[in-house]
């Protein structure tokens, strides 16, 4: 349901590394789910940036659990490899959703959005981050957690559980 109580329509894709999923991601997912008919959270298999800490299965499992716990019935999780533009075309997606935390996010995201539209014809809509989460990133969450800091406010409970398991396994 949208904010006006009407049912949303269209399929939105929310792509990312989700290494791990944060409350900032969950906020964007929940708000997108209130606008669009269906939201597909698409986990990139091998992010170019660096080797992910969490396996693809772990990242998908934490997202599925968080979606379930939040009661978001029109959200699902999948994975993709290669070009996002190819994936959105193959999946007949209507729109790509991206969160913007700070102005500097916009610089990268603007050119990425234009390239993705040029390659696929699919537009990107930007969701401004909730100020409560504008300073959160997956990399910062990992650093704080593995150095012993408290991250309970910044990740869904399902993620916290998987992170604790990972920390125990790495000990
Ligand atoms: O959570 P992230 O790491 O910011 O997500 C980045 C992601 C996965 C959305 C982005 O790297 C991506 O779309 N990669 C797919 C490869 C691709 O299509 N590259 C060209 C973009 S112009």
Query: How many whole angstroms separate alpha carbon 100 and alpha carbon 126?
Result: 6
pTM above 0.85, yes or no: yes
Q: Which of ligand 1's atoms lies nearest the C-alpha of 82? A: 16
CA of 16 to the centre of ligand 1 (A): 6
Q: Give catalytic status of residue 120 as yes or no.
A: no
Separation of alpha carbons 99 and 119, rounded Å: 21
Partnered with residue 41 across adjacent β-strands are 14, 77
- Report whether residue 77 contacts ligand 1, using a CB cutoff of 6 Å: no
Q: Quick: pLDDT tens for 103-127.
A: 999 999 999 999 999 999 999 999 9
- More confident of the two residues 99 and 8: 99
Q: Check if 84 has its Cβ closer than 6 Å to any atom of ligand 1.
A: yes
| Helix, strand, coil percent content, the chain, rounded in steps of 5 | 45, 20, 35
Q: How far is the CA of 5 from the centre of ligand 1 (A)?
A: 32
State pLDDT tens for residues 31-55: 999 999 999 999 999 867 779 999 9
Tell me the C-alpha distance between 58 and 56, whole Å.
5
The H helix count followed by the E strand count for the chain is 6, 5
Q: Which atom of ligand 1 is nearest the CA belonging to 111?
A: 22
pLDDT at residue 4 tops 80 = no
Of the candidates 10, 22, 13, 17, the residue with the CA atom closest to the CA atom of residue 48: 17
Whether 50 is catalytic: no
Residue nearest to atom 8 of ligand 1 (CA): 16
Q: In whole angstroms, what is the distance from residue 144 CA to residue 146 CA? A: 6
Q: Is 49 one of the catalytic residues?
A: yes
- Taking the centre of ligand 1 as the mean of its atom positions, its distance from the CA of residue 49, in whole angstroms, is 9
Task: Determine the Cα angle at 61 with ends 92 and 128, to 5°.
Answer: 60
Does the active-site annotation cover 139? no
């Amino acid at each position: 349901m949208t904010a006006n109580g009407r049912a949303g329509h269209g399929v939105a894709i929310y792509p990312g590394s989700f290494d791990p999923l944060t409350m900032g991601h969950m906020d964007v997912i929940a708000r997108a789910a209130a606008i669009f008919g269906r939201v597909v959270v698409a986990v990139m298999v091998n992010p170019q940036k660096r080797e992910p800490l969490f396996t693809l299965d772990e990242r998908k499992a934490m997202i599925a659990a968080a979606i379930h716990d939040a009661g978001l019935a029109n959200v699902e999780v999948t994975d993709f490899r290669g070009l996002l533009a190819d994936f959105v075309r193959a999946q007949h997606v209507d729109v790509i959703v991206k969160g913007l935390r700070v102005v500097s996010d916009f610089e990268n995201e603007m050119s990425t959005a234009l390239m993705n539209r040029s390659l696929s014809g699919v537009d990107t809509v930007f969701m401004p981050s909730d100020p409560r989460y504008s300073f959160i990133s997956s990399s910062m969450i990992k650093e704080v957690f593995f150095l012993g800091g408290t991250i309970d406010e910044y990740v869904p409970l399902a993620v916290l559980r998987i992170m604790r398991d990972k920390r125990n396994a790495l000990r």
